[in-house]
């Protein structure tokens, strides 16, 4: 099951108490204070795991607490620090503090780590309170409590190219032909209910393509499945906009403009990325009228149109090469973190 949003309660470990102790040895009068400090509490840490692609393991395990620090001891012994609790998450996970809506950070590369709840500092022992005025201090600090907060984890898939388009525009068929991915394919809208990733090879190079459910009118406000899955194209470096130009398509140009408007309302910056328009299902088109109309509409926006057929394979080799050329000069997204 694909799960891309969960809420967690995270609690850093409390710091250990400082110790009140005095040196007691034979022939050592007035040995003085020798209470050690408590150990620091452990942190709750998110770590990006390369072998994880969903937040499903966290759907029913929603509370993580780090170990507390040990108390200080006599003879100036410092308590042991609490162990960190490490929570594995998929690369592309974003963490937000629910109460303050503060971005805590993102984990993009496998192995990246993010502390989401810091452990408390250990308390000072009475040795730390020794002074010329107080030669026998009898106070020590309690350990500081660890941070505790509710956080929300959002998974945004990391892909080089995102496929966008209206429902049943041919995205899943295209992905199955240009990569080894095997998404569900059907002749009805919303066959794809979860994002699917596929790796496309072009010569010695390769890139990752993400297929998301179809975009309908009102998707930016939650219509269809748009609100849940539009965010999965936010990290892509280029977009392929698929438009059905078969004889069965009622208004290809209208569908093209509708999807662009929904993407613009969701995140205008997406339309500033390299974008290629694909006229799909050309095997089911008996004329070139819909293709010509789409070329005029896209041309007015300075966009290139490629005619393809996922069934016959028309134009797929050229498509893969053009998609790679779009990526050639575009930098990968950088990780963001809280200031």
Q: Which residue has the higher pLDDT, 94 or 168?
A: 94
- The CATH number for 34's domain is 2.70.210.12
Same domain (yes/no): 52, 187 = no
The neighbour count for residue 306, using CB atoms within 10 Å, is: 18
- Same-domain check for residues 175 and 324: yes
Domain boundary among 155, 180, 206: 155
- Domain for residue 337, yes or no? no
Same domain, 21 and 146: yes
Residues paired with residue 149 on neighbouring β-strands, in sequence order: 10
Residue 320 sits in the same domain as residue 180: yes
- DSSP letter, residue 55: S
Cβ-count burial 65-93 (b if 16+ within 10 Å, e if not)? bbbbbbbbbbebbbbebbebbebebbbbb
**Choice among 122-131, 172-181, 291-300 with the minimum mean pLDDT:** 172-181
Comparing 215 with 339, the larger pLDDT belongs to 215
pLDDT of residue 226: 45
- Torsion (CA) 173, 176, 178, 179 in degrees, nearest 10: 160
**143-163 average pLDDT score:** 90
Per-residue pLDDT at 198: 82
Reported confidence tier of residue 189, pLDDT bands at 50, 70, 90? very low
The candidate with the shortest Cα–Cα distance to 290, out of 328, 252, 264, is 252
213 shares its domain with 272: yes
Of 111-115, 246-250, 317-321, the range with the highest mean pLDDT is 111-115
Say how far apart CA 329 and CA 201 lie, in whole Å. 18
Q: What CATH number is given to the structural domain containing 317?
A: 3.40.50.300
pTM of the model: 0.71
Mean pLDDT (the chain) is 85
| Whether the predicted pLDDT of 312 surpasses 50 | yes
Say if CB 253 and CB 293 are below 8 A apart: yes
Whole domain around residue 118: which residue ranges? 1-155
Window from 118-122, 224-228, 310-314, 326-330 with minimum mean pLDDT: 224-228
Residue 11 sits in the same domain as residue 92: yes
The pLDDT assigned to 191 comes to 45
Does 221 or 98 have the greater pLDDT score?
98
Beta-carbon contacts of 172 under 8 Å, excluding residues fewer than 6 positions away, are 183, 184, 185, 191, 192, 196, 211
Q: How far apart are CA 247 and CA 95, in angstroms?
A: 46
Residues 46 and 69 occupy one common structural domain: yes
Q: How confident is the model at residue 222 (pLDDT cuts 50, 70, 90)?
A: very low
Residue 339 lies in a domain: no
Give the C-alpha distances (Å, rounded to integers) separating 254 from 217, 220, 257.
Answer: 11, 17, 5
Q: Is 306 a member of any domain? A: yes
Higher-confidence residue of 219 and 182: namely: 182
Spatial distance between the Cα atoms of 93 and 57, rounded to a whole number of angstroms: 14
Banded model confidence at residue 2, pLDDT cuts 50, 70, 90:
low
Query: CA torsion sign, 225 to 268 to 109 to 322?
Result: positive
Quick one: 211 and 315 in the same domain? yes
Same domain for 276 and 140: no
The whole-angstrom separation of Cα 313 and Cα 317 is: 8
Same-domain check for residues 90 and 115: yes
Q: State the maximum Cα–Cα separation within the chain, in Å, rounded to a whole number.
A: 107
Judged against a pLDDT cut of 50, whether residue 192 lies above it is answered with: no
pLDDT bin (cut points 50, 70, 90) of residue 214 is low
100 and 167 both lie in a single domain: no
């Amino acid at each position: 099951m694909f799960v891309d949003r969960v809420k967690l309660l995270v609690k850093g470990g409390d710091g250990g108490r400082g110790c009140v102790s005095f040196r007691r040895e034979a022939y050592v009068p007035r040995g003085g204070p020798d209470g050690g400090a408590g150990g620091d509490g452990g942190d709750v840490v998110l770590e990006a795991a390369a072998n994880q692609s969903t937040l499903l393991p966290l759907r029913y395990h929603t509370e993580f607490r780090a170990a507390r620090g040990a108390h200080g001891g006599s003879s100036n012994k410092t308590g042991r620090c609490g162990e960190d609790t490490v929570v594995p998450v998929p690369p592309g996970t974003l963490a937000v503090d629910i109460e303050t809506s503060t971005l805590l950070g993102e984990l993009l590369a496998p192995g990246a780590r993010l502390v989401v709840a810091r452990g408390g500092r250990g308390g000072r022992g009475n040795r730390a309170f020794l002074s010329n005025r107080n030669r026998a201090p009898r106070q020590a600090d309690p350990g500081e409590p660890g941070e505790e907060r509710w956080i929300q984890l959002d998974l945004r898939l990391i892909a080089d190219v995102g496929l966008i388009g209206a429902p049943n525009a041919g995205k899943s068929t295209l992905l199955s032909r240009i990569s080894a991915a095997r998404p569900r394919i059907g002749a009805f809208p919303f066959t794809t209910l979860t994002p699917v990733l596929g790796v496309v090879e072009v010569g010695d190079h390769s890139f990752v393509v993400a297929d998301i459910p179809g975009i309908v009118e009102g998707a930016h406000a939650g219509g269809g499945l748009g609100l849940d899955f539009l965010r999965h194209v936010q990290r892509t470096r280029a977009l392929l906009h698929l438009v059905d130009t078969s004889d069965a398509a009622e208004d290809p140009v209208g569908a093209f403009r509708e999807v662009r408007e929904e993407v613009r309302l969701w995140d205008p910056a997406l339309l500033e990325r390299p974008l290629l328009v694909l006229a799909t299902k050309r095997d089911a088109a008996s004329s070139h009228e819909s293709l010509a109309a789409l070329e005029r509409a896209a041309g007015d926006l300075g966009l290139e149109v490629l005619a393809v057929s996922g069934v016959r394979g028309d134009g797929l080799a050229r498509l893969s090469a053009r998609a790679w050329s779009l990526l050639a000069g575009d930098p990968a997204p950088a990780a963001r973190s809280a200031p």
